[in-house]
């Protein structure tokens, strides 16, 4: 009998990744082994407040009891059928998700990028079949500094050279205009336009909140031009901004909404394209699909997520705690913070570059027990679980103040 292997330390585990794991990420040097609610614990038992929440995949915190219970219950009954057969969880999930988002139909997928790809395919098909665009001529207008995922088609219309470089040739059919610029958008739309695809708040770009009236303007322009408005709410949706969807801040209803991240409750990847019957109705059997999309485990967890959002409690918390976050960050302007943007419990904080890069500030926060992540340059993104308490949030703001003052 050999003795059981000694558990490896954080440093050992980080070093062990180096030769065997593709280097497509540069994580903070923390190795998480356990988590509950807004807190995570590393291999050595150090505790951290999670102020990133898996880029909003963990809106309900780690291991929310209702979500974990729904997952366990489903694990005991049925996990996968493929769409070759029906499963008893999918109808209820689609009905409730459509009702929650005020849309007609649901196309279940798995990851965010797949939802975006699916939205692009739906928009193109709609352009040919409903709008009458000549074959293979459809265009989609997108915004500069967008983030919609990592597939070859999606990076084809990214303006981030790191995301694109070395991955061509690229998919044609996209036009890029500045974000938050209705005149540029109007000029880019023509009779070939299938859709305008934008994020209602640009997350990866640094939580860029457009001017009031922009989303209304996009809705009016697309309606007038006879093209679809596709809103990528994969990060902004499902409670983060204080509403179920970020477009609700302007009472706008897009033709198609892309959801992901929090839809899987932090347990399984679940994404969806939700939209009007006119748009999603263009798909017929065999034209699009996914082996795992709409699987019963995903549908059970997704239904439990929708159930949490139906109460309105999480949207309310995001709005109320968002006010605390905004007030706290306002106090820091001029004291290490040069500016910030926020909507609900979601902020992009521009730190004085003299104090350090976003990465350095994130590392200092980590050593003080706060997990956050930089976006570009000196911008830190804050997006804690919506279950965080006011006391925990204030304590995180206090730690940020301390790190910036040091």
Ligand X SMILES: *Cc1c(COP(=O)(O)O)cnc(C)c1O
Residues that bind ligand X (CB under 6 A): 55, 111-113, 116, 147-149, 199, 203, 232, 234-235, 260-261
- Is-catalytic flag, 373? no
Distance of closest approach, residue 233 Cβ to ligand X, in angstroms:
8
- C-alpha pair distances (Å), 56 with each of 237, 266, 355: 9, 9, 27
State yes or no: is 170 an active-site residue.
no
Q: Whole-angstrom distance between the N-terminal and C-terminal Cα of the chain?
A: 53
Query: Which of 105, 139, 120 has the alpha carbon at shortest distance from 225?
Result: 139
**Shortest CB 169 distance to ligand X, Å:** 22
Nearer to ligand X, 106 or 109 (CB): 109
**Could you tell me which residues come within 8 angstroms of residue 404 by beta carbon, excluding any fewer than 6 positions away?**
332, 335, 336, 337, 351, 352, 355, 361
Query: Least distance from C-beta 149 to ligand X, angstroms?
Result: 4
- What distance in Å separates the CA atoms of residue 130 and residue 12, rounded to the nearest whole number? 58
Q: Please say which residue, 62 or 148, places its beta carbon nearer to ligand X.
A: 148
**In the bound complex, what is the minimum distance in angstroms from residue 150's beta carbon to ligand X?**
6
* CA dihedral for 42, 45, 50, 53, sign (positive or negative): positive
Q: 149 vs 302, which CB is nearer to ligand X?
A: 149
d(CA 295, CA 100): 20
Q: What are the φ/ψ torsions at residue 115 (nearest 5 degrees)?
A: -65, -40
Catalytic pick among 147, 157, 229, 292: 147
Cα-trace Rg, the chain: 22
For 224, counting Cβ atoms within 10 Å of its Cβ (0-12 exposed, 13-18 middle, 19+ buried), the class is exposed
Tokens 């590393």 found at: 42
Cβ neighbours around 397 below 10 Å, total: 20
- State which residue, 153 or 235, has the beta carbon closest to ligand X: 235
Structure tokens that stand for 183 in this block: 């005149």
Alpha helices by DSSP H, listed for 76-213, are 90-101, 112-126, 152-156, 161-164, 182-188
> What whole-number distance in Å separates Cα of residue 3 and Cα of residue 181?
65
Specify the 3-state DSSP secondary structure of 339: strand
Q: Is 232 a catalytic residue?
A: yes
Q: Closest approach of Cβ 109 to ligand X, in Å?
A: 10
**Looking at 42, 157, 174, 232, which residue is catalytic?**
232
Give least dist CB 49 to ligand X, A. Answer: 22
**Min dist. Cβ of residue 260 to ligand X (A):** 5
- Closer residue to ligand X in complex, CB, 239/328: 239
For the chain, the farthest-separated pair of C-alpha atoms sits apart, in whole angstroms, at 75
Nearer to ligand X, 133 or 205 (CB): 205
By the 8 A CB rule, do 79 and 87 touch?
Answer: no
Catalytic residue among 42, 157, 255, 261: 261
Return the number of the residue (103 or 399) whose C-beta is nearest ligand X. Answer: 103
> Which residue's Cβ has the minimum distance to ligand X?
112
Which sequence positions are flagged as catalytic?
A: 147, 232, 261
């Amino acid at each position: 009998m050999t003795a059981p292997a000694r558990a490896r330390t954080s440093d050992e585990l980080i070093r062990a990744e180096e030769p065997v794991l593709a280097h497509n990420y540069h994580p903070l040097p923390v190795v998480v082994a356990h988590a509950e609610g807004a807190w995570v614990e590393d291999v050595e038992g150090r505790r951290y407040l999670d102020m990133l929440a898996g880029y909003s995949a963990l809106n309900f915190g780690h291991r929310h009891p209702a979500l974990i219970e729904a997952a366990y219950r489903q694990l005991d009954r049925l996990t996968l059928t493929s769409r070759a057969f029906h499963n008893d969880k999918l109808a209820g999930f689609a009905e409730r998700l459509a009702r929650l988002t005020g849309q007609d139909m649901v196309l279940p997928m798995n990851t965010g990028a797949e939802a975006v790809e699916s939205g692009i395919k739906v928009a193109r098909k709609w352009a040919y079949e409903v709008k009458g665009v000549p074959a293979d001529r459809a265009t989609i207008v997108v915004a500069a500094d967008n983030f919609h995922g990592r597939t070859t088609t999606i990076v084809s219309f990214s303006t981030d050279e790191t995301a694109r470089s070395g991955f061509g040739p690229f998919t044609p059919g996209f036009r890029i205009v500045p974000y938050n610029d209705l005149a540029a958008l109007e000029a880019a739309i023509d009779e070939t336009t299938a859709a305008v695809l934008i994020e209602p708040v640009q997350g990866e770009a640094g939580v860029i909140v457009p001017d009031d009236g922009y989303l209304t303007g996009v809705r009016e322009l697309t309606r007038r031009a006879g093209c679809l408005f596709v809103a990528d709410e994969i990060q902004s949706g499902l409670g983060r901004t204080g509403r179920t969807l970020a477009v609700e801040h302007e009472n706008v209803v897009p033709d198609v909404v892309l959801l992901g991240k929090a839809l899987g409750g932090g347990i399984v990847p679940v994404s969806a394209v939700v939209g009007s019957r006119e748009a999603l109705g263009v798909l017929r059997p065999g034209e699009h699909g996914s082996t795992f999309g709409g699987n019963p485990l995903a549908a059970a967890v997704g239904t439990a997520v929708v159930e949490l959002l139906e109460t309105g409690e999480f949207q309310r918390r995001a709005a109320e705690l968002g006010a605390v976050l905004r007030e706290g960050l306002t106090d820091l302007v001029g004291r290490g913070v040069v500016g910030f943007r926020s909507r609900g419990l979601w902020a992009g904080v521009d730190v004085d570059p003299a104090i350090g890069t976003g990465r350095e500030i994130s590392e200092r926060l980590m050593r003080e027990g706060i997990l956050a992540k930089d976006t570009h340059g000196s911008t830190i993104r804050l997006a804690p679980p919506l279950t965080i308490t006011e006391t925990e949030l204030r304590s995180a703001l206090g730690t940020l103040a301390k790190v910036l003052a040091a």
